[in-house]
């Protein structure tokens, strides 16, 4: 970490150094590193974490956004800062308000990149929507809110992990790769974990998704790591081998199912 509270990374294609601002690189710049630290149980009581967290929070725009209203960024950040202990911070609340006030017809989330006037109307992004779902799962005070309920239905109406108009086809290739740590991609376990934590784990519409989860486990109930970012500074295990983090979260998801 830079002494001023940020992580830098060189873009392998452009040579540009990223991380000092809100633009991010390949899973090793500031908001990713803060998320990894939160996942490992660190929080604002650590001086270095507090320095980096406050610096990044101060890069926030007035409406609660950081960069182009990327839902996979601001929703991801909401979860990170709640885990780090900043739930009562006005800057985190601004991001939550942005998420709450971002409404789309199908109940999901998208971003400015796809919402531009010269583009055709786009369906919501499953990745950004899943990050919002994870964020909501950390805020029980919003579980009965209409915006949260809309997002829950967005997932339940597709049986959790399938295309909205074809419940025999995964919504995207992310569903075929058990990955960690949590980044802008999504996982079957992320969706089921978040829905389960909010009380929807036993919904009949998720039965097929739970059956898929069963196929990801070996005879001992462990889940193999199938993808992890190459440039991620947190080396969480070897691809093709049982992974304790994936196994842990899968077990948690199943616990919330009951």
- Residue 1, judged by CB atoms within 10 A of its CB (0-12, 13-18, 19+), counts as middle
Which pLDDT value is given to residue 198?
A: 98
Q: Is the pLDDT of residue 116 over 70?
A: no
Tokens at 144, concatenated? 């009965």
Give CA separation, 257 vs 17, 55, 89, 167, in Å: 43, 38, 31, 21
> Which range, of 1-5, 10-14, 68-72, 242-246, averages the lowest pLDDT?
10-14
Q: Which residues lie across from 217 on neighbouring strands?
A: 223
Residue given tokens 């007035």 in the structure block? 62
Average pLDDT (12-23) is: 90
Question: CB under 8 Å to 77, separation ≥6 — which residues?
Answer: 31, 56, 66, 95
Average pLDDT (20-26) is: 93
Q: How far is residue 139's CA from residue 130's CA, in Å, rounded to a whole number? A: 15
Q: In angstroms, how far is the first alpha carbon of the chain from the final one?
A: 41
Which pLDDT value is given to residue 191?
A: 98
Helix (H, G, I), strand (E, B) or coil at 67: coil
Q: Is the pLDDT of residue 123 over 90?
A: no
Which pLDDT value is given to residue 229?
A: 95
Which pLDDT value is given to residue 12?
A: 78
Mean pLDDT of the chain: 95
Q: Could you tell me the pLDDT band of residue 114, with boundaries at 50, 70 and 90?
A: low
Average pLDDT (103-125) is: 79
> Which range, of 79-93, 112-126, 225-239, averages the lowest pLDDT?
112-126
Burial per residue of 158-176, b for 16 or more beta-carbon CB atoms within 10 angstroms, e otherwise: bbbbbeeeebeebbeebbe
Nearest residue to 133 (alpha-carbon basis) of 79, 93, 212, 214? 79
Q: pLDDT per residue over 51-107, tens digit each?
A: 999 999 999 999 999 999 999 999 999 999 999 999 999 999 999 999 999 989 999
Give percent above pLDDT 90 in the chain: 92
Q: Could you tell me the pLDDT band of residue 15, with boundaries at 50, 70 and 90?
A: confident
Tokens at 49, concatenated? 């974490």
Tokens at 161, concatenated? 């992990």
> Where are the strands (E) in the chain, listed by range?
9-10, 17-18, 162-163, 166-170
Average pLDDT (128-138) is: 98
Which pLDDT value is given to residue 11?
A: 83
Is the model more confident about 121 or about 52?
Answer: 52
Task: Provide the sign of the torsion angle of the four alpha carbons 257, 224, 165, 96, taken in this order.
Answer: positive
Which pLDDT value is given to residue 119?
A: 59
Which pLDDT value is given to residue 156?
A: 98
Q: Is the pLDDT of residue 115 over 80?
A: no
Which pLDDT value is given to residue 13?
A: 79
Which pLDDT value is given to residue 111?
A: 86
Average pLDDT (1-18) is: 91
Q: Is the pLDDT of residue 148 over 70?
A: yes
Which pLDDT value is given to residue 241?
A: 97
pTM: 0.95
């Amino acid at each position: 970490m830079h002494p001023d509270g940020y992580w830098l990374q060189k873009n392998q294609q452009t040579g540009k150094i990223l991380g000092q601002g809100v633009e991010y690189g390949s899973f090793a710049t500031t908001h990713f590193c803060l998320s990894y630290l939160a996942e490992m149980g660190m929080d604002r009581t650590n001086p270095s974490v507090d320095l980096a967290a406050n610096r990044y929070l101060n890069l926030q725009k007035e409406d609660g956004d950081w960069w182009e209203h990327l839902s996979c960024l601001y929703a991801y950040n909401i979860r990170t800062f709640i885990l780090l202990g900043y739930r009562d911070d006005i800057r985190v609340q601004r991001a939550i308000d942005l998420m709450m006030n971002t409404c789309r017809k199908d109940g999901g989330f998208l971003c400015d990149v796809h919402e531009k006037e010269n583009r055709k109307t786009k369906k919501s992004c499953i990745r950004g929507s899943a990050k919002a779902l994870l964020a909501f799962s950390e805020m029980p005070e919003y579980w009965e809110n209409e915006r949260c309920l809309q997002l829950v239905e967005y997932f339940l109406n597709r049986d959790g992990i399938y295309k909205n108009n074809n419940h025999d086809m995964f919504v995207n290739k992310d569903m075929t790769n058990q990955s960690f740590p949590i980044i802008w991609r999504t996982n079957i376990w992320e969706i089921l974990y978040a829905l389960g934590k909010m009380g929807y784990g036993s919904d009949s519409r998720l039965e097929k998704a739970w059956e898929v989860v069963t196929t990801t486990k070996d005879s001992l109930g462990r889940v193999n790591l199938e993808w992890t970012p190459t440039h991620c500074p947190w080396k969480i295990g070897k691809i093709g081998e049982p992974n304790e983090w994936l196994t842990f979260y899968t077990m948690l998801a199943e616990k919330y199912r009951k």
